[in-house]
Structure 1
Amino acid sequence: MGVTFDLFGTLVTATRPDDPAAAVAAELEERGVDVPPDWADAYTEMHIDAPEGAEVPLPAHVARALASRGVDCPANAARRAVVAAFDPEVETRDGARAVIEAAREHGPGPVGLCSNCSVPELVGRTLVRADLRRDDFDAVVTSVGCGWRKPAPEMFEVAADRLGVAPSELVHVGDDPATDGGVEGVGGTAILLEDGESAGETLEALPRLFSGGELWK
């Protein structure tokens, strides 16, 4: 068996722009890109026809949105603008470090991170600011990296493969039933922190459950 953790809302809280379209526009203008007057509309329109469950990297979406309005975007400017616009303040949630250590010490196998995130570099930057290390995890799987977004079964299958376990052997800890609960679609077990019926109602409760072995009896 293996354990995966969601990042945002589970291990950390992180700020995001109040108005993402405006934040991206400001960063594009800083890089000499002429943002069209109807950018707010262009930003919310679909420009890439992706398969159901696939992740569209936000820089690709931004570049296509600009192109739809006849705006040329210099090489890599969309990526740099998006990364700068989504530069977060991060707070590590109480119990995050303890639950990772408990999973590593008492869990049934490898420990991974499985996070939805369409912004390149954001997960790595968040881990650094939360004083969590990539070395804390045997695999770090992001939707922008693997191309699939929870609850798509493909994302959990990628995480399981990188941990060397079967998808049905995943125990996934998260805070969102709509996304993190998707692990049940591949036969895995979801521990949902917002679900009063789950094995652990709070992050602080989980180390005891890991050390007691209740989750894999």
Structure 2
Amino acid sequence: MATNALTLKAVLFDRDGTLVVDVPYNGDPQKVEPYPGARRVLEGLRNLGLATGVLSNQSGIARGLLTADQVDSVNARVEELLGPFDVWEVCPHGAGDGCPCRKPAPGMIHSACRRLGIDPSEAAFVGDIGSDIEAAAAAGARGILVPTPQTRAEEVDAAPEVAADLEQAVALLFRDPVLQGPA
């Protein structure tokens, strides 16, 4: 079952490149820079009573490039700038670790939905790369790609839904023929 505005209970987001400017392996909270409009979009979702969450691959931990404490401090800064999230999921594993949580695996989406008490079909996941959208599909959630200049063309081509920015991504979630009524 596809997530639509009638069944939507949570909107989950990738962190780097989606909510905040991607600074590779960032362990410095002072380098956190939200994308324009991110706070407004999140406040709008919260005002509608929807849960929000952040799901982030952080392989820098496995690689020894940053610590879990540094990631936590960056995440705290994200919350300070963008408001509170109902759920956070962080995968500290590397690409070759074979864990079930690292996107494109669906583990973080499944865990977030479990913690929120919802089915993945009641969630949407917004991200900036193909593995985000693949994770959403694998979990049974709706996935929307918001490409950045780093997003590969084949990832854009493969995404079922693509938005220019966060505002457009959320607008897509509520653009549902069932809600529009007769013409």
Q: TM-score range by the shorter chain?
A: 0.5 to 0.7
The correspondence for 2:128, drawn from 170, 175, 189, is 175
Change (3 A) 1:199 1:106: farther
| Percent of residue pairs bearing the same amino acid type | 33
The correspondence for 1:3, drawn from 1, 5, 11, is 11
1:27-64 superposed Cα distances (whole Å, 9 cap, x missing partner): xxxxxxxxxxxxxxxxxxxxxxxxxxxxxxxxxxxxxx
Corresponding position of 1:144: 92
Q: TM-score, normalised by structure 2?
A: 0.66
Corresponding position of 1:98: 40
For 2:141, the aligned partner's letter is: G
CA RMSD of aligned residues (A): 3.1
Corresponding position of 2:152: none
Matches of 2:77 and 2:84, distance apart in 1: 14
Q: Determine helix, strand or coil for the equivalent of 1:121.
A: helix
Q: Determine helix, strand or coil for the equivalent of 2:168.
A: helix
Corresponding position of 1:126: 74
Matches of 2:70 and 2:172, distance apart in 1: 30
Alignment of 1:106-125 (within 5 A): 106=48, 109-118=50-59, 119=61, 120-125=68-73
Q: Does 1:159 align with 2:112?
A: yes
Q: TM-score, normalised by structure 1?
A: 0.56
Change (3 A) 1:153 1:130: closer
Change (3 A) 1:94 1:167: same
State the 1:87 CA deviation. 3.4
1:164-216 superposed Cα distances (whole Å, 9 cap, x missing partner): 11122220011111234311112110011024862532124345456xx3269
Matches of 2:164 and 2:34, distance apart in 1: 18
Corresponding position of 1:214: 175
Corresponding position of 2:96: none
For 2:38, the aligned partner's letter is: A
Q: Determine helix, strand or coil for the equivalent of 1:92.
A: coil
Indicate conservation of the 8 Å contact 1:150/1:156, yes or no: no
Q: Determine helix, strand or coil for the equivalent of 1:111.
A: strand
Alignment of 1:30-69 (within 5 A): none
Change (3 A) 1:14 1:175: closer
Give ranges in structure 1 of 5+ residues lacking alignment: 18-84
Change (3 A) 1:207 1:158: closer
Larger mean Cα displacement after TM superposition, 8-17 or 124-133: 124-133
Q: Does 1:184 align with 2:126?
A: no
Matches of 1:203 and 1:147, distance apart in 2: 27
Indicate conservation of the 8 Å contact 1:6/1:180, yes or no: no
Larger mean Cα displacement after TM superposition, 7-16 or 157-166: 7-16
State the 1:124 CA deviation. 2.9
Residue correspondences, number: 147
The correspondence for 2:165, drawn from 181, 192, 202, is 202
Return the index of the structure with the highest Cα Rg. 1
Change (3 A) 1:130 1:2: closer
